[in-house]
Amino acid sequence: MLNPEIILTHYNPVTGEMHGATMVKRHLSDLRGCFADTAAYESALKAGNPLLYSVGAVEPASGEGDLHYGVGMLMPGKIGGEYFMTKGHLHSWRPAAEFYFGLTGDGVMLLEDEATGESRIVPLKPNGVVYVPGHTAHRTMNVGTTPLTYIGVYPAKAGHDYSTIAKTNFRCVVVERAGQPVMIERNNL
Ligand code: PA5
Ligand code: MN
């Protein structure tokens, strides 16, 4: 059925907000355990609890073959040497891949193969498309000075598994070196 409420959605390209979407807002306090520099995190939190990102999830139908998507808006900023980031997750249904489409701003995605730990950073920018393979943990960072917005499209049955990342975090961190985002092993910080 070509239900107009399902086949067309408009989002606000600045805030990522959409009529009818479920909005999730993540503030600094929600990112406890994500940033390597815990002292910098605690002192930033004492100064305030800013919005780091929001995701408007559009999950219209959940049948076999259906797709879901989220419009993300991630603010610029840093904690210690690390850029503002999303929590990051694996998909509960591990084979689920995802496309990320950069809309505005300057971002980087950190990808980590769950089985091997192989890690890679890739730019997420306007006119760029990032393919996140299945079985791959993914986290987004804003490495610019303006809000980063993007769309992630994933199979309806993907699901979000946050607990695995919450236990061990990503193997690598992304920090600024000479004005550029650089990936380094967490153990070598
Ligand atoms: O489904 C996705 O991968 C995205 O829409 C993310 O949910 C979004 O980038 C926010 O990241 P996280 O879900 O890790 O908090
Ligand atoms: Mn995902």
Q: Rounded to whole angstroms, how far apart are CA atoms 150 and 124?
A: 8
Which pLDDT tens digit goes with each residue over 21-60?
889 999 999 999 999 999 999 999 999 999 999 999 999 8
The mean pLDDT value for 163-188 works out to: 97
Q: Rounded to whole angstroms, how far apart are CA atoms 67 and 56?
A: 15
**171 burial via Cβ count (<10 Å: 0-12, 13-18, 19+):** middle
Q: Rounded to whole angstroms, how far apart are CA atoms 20 and 6?
A: 10
Q: Rounded to whole angstroms, how far apart are CA atoms 3 and 49?
A: 40
CA-proximal residue: ligand 1, atom 5 (nearest): 70
Residue 132 CA: nearest ligand 1 atom is 3
Q: Please indicate whether residue 70, judged by its CB atom, sits closer than 6 Å to ligand 1.
A: yes
Question: Which pLDDT band holds residue 13 (cuts at 50, 70, 90)?
Answer: confident
Q: Please indicate whether residue 88, judged by its CB atom, sits closer than 6 Å to ligand 1.
A: yes
Q: Which residues contact 33 (CB under 8 A, 6 or more apart)?
A: 166, 169
